[in-house]
């Protein structure tokens, strides 16, 4: 997995650090959609984008659904394990004055997008704008606890992981009954999304974010929910071309932000090639099936793994858990690739960021 532009490792690689801090002092803030959610939507009473029911979580610690959209762990969970820190808790599970806010928070929400109208038919979800507003409230609570100077320092030194944009295509532009797909050409749509993202990342910077990694989109044309639209069952080439165009524009935006804010480091994590290789060559990674999901889902009614769904006999044989999300085993492989790219030194230490 390539890290384009200014390398995120510049502020997290222990091998290049002059001073180090323990993993226990690492603070991470996570923003995103169902690929990184850990349970925020459980607290949204009317949300239709939920996974707090069987068979989600069947391979997670305790074997129960937590709100993660997979059978086990997310990529974020696995990276946290490697860093030696617990996964940040869902924002909506915390009280306003919870001490856990000082150690990092996960704001990710299933169905969320960069655009506020993405995923409208899920009724409730935290859009990226909503998540940034939640982070603003988090910073206000932290300021109340430890004072403005210490709060600014904490936010400046924290690491921000953002993975969002898939739903802007899968649950917006690619839906024929929604306005955006009719109103915009692919070029116009990506311009709208990137302009919005520019404003959002700028706002995060203004709130104190200085170490930011944005995860690019994978080959959405190859996920089961899209492949069923092909008469041959193959990946949708046009969708993948749009995704590559989006990733290309985000890379340019990241370069612009690094020039605009020289005291910050923004990085683009390109996941596309690794995910595509996993799908194209599943046996090389120990899988048997990559064109459909372990959970026998009905893509006509959402593609999630419902309690009455039939599961495959061996969950480790499948790259995909449901019509949209990787399995625990696939997440483990992708997290390992991501981690090995970002970290060359021992995962237990990280450099002290510059002010």
Catalytic residue numbers read 34, 322, 325
SS3 349: strand
312 dihedral zone (left: phi>0; alpha: psi -120 to 50; beta):
beta
CA distance 84 to 77: 11
DSSP string, 199-231: HHHHHHHHTT--EEEEEPP--GGGSHHHHTTST
Please tell me whether the peptide bond between 55 and the residue prior to it is cis, using omega within 30 degrees of 0: yes
Q: Are 294 and 321 in contact (CB under 8 A)?
A: yes
- Quick one: which of 329, 318, 309, 315 has its CA closest to 51? 309
Contacts of 150 (CB under 8 A, 6+ apart): none
The angle, 0 to 180 degrees and rounded to 10, between the axes of the packed helices 186-206 and 237-260 is 30
Task: Count Cβ atoms within 10 A of the Cβ of residue 210 and give its class: 0-12 exposed, 13-18 middle, 19 or more buried.
Answer: buried
Query: In angstroms, rounded to a whole number, what is the distance separating the alpha carbons of residues 246 and 309?
Result: 34
- HSE-up of residue 298 (Cα within 13 Å, Cβ side): 6
Please report where in the chains the tokens 């349970």 appear, as a residue: 39
Can you read off the two tokens belonging to residue 183? 């109103």
Widest pairwise Cα distance in the chain: 60
């Amino acid at each position: 997995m390539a890290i384009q532009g200014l390398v995120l490792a510049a502020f997290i690689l222990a091998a290049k650090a002059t001073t180090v801090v323990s993993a226990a002092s690492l603070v991470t803030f996570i923003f995103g959609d169902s690929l990184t959610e850990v349970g925020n939507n459980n607290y949204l009473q009317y949300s239709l984008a939920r996974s707090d029911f069987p068979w989600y979580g069947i391979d997670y610690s305790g074997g129960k659904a937590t709100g993660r959209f997979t059978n086990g762990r997310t990529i974020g969970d696995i990276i946290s394990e490697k860093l030696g820190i617990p996964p940040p808790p869902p924002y909506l599970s915390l009280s306003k004055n919870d001490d856990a806010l000082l150690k990092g928070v996960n704001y990710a929400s299933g169905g969320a997008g960069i655009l506020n109208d993405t995923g409208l038919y899920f009724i409730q979800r935290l859009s990226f704008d909503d998540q940034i507003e939640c982070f603003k409230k988090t910073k206000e609570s932290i300021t109340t606890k430890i004072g403005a100077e210490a709060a600014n320092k904490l936010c400046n030194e924290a690491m921000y992981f953002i993975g969002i944009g898939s739903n802007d295509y899968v649950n917006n532009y690619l839906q024929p009954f929604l306005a955006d797909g009719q109103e915009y050409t692919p070029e116009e749509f990506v311009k709208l999304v990137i302009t919005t993202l520019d404003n959002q990342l700028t706002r995060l910077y203004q709130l104190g974010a200085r170490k930011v990694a944005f995860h690019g989109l994978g080959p959405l044309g190859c996920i089961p929910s899209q492949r069923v639209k092909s008469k041959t069952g193959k990946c949708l080439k046009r969708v993948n071309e749009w995704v590559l165009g989006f990733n290309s524009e985000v890379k340019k935006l990241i370069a612009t932000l690094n020039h605009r804010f020289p005291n910050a480091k923004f990085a683009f994590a390109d996941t596309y090639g690794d995910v595509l290789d996993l799908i194209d060559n599943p046996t090389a990674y120990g899988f048997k099936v990559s064109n459909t999901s372990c959970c026998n889902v009905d893509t006509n009614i959402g593609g999630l793994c419902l309690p009455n769904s039939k599961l495959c006999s061996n969950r480790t044989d499948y790259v995909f858990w449901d019509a949209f999300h990787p399995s625990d085993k696939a997440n483990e492989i992708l997290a390992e690739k991501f981690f090995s790219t970002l970290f060359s030194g021992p995962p237990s230490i990280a450099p002290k960021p510059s002010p």
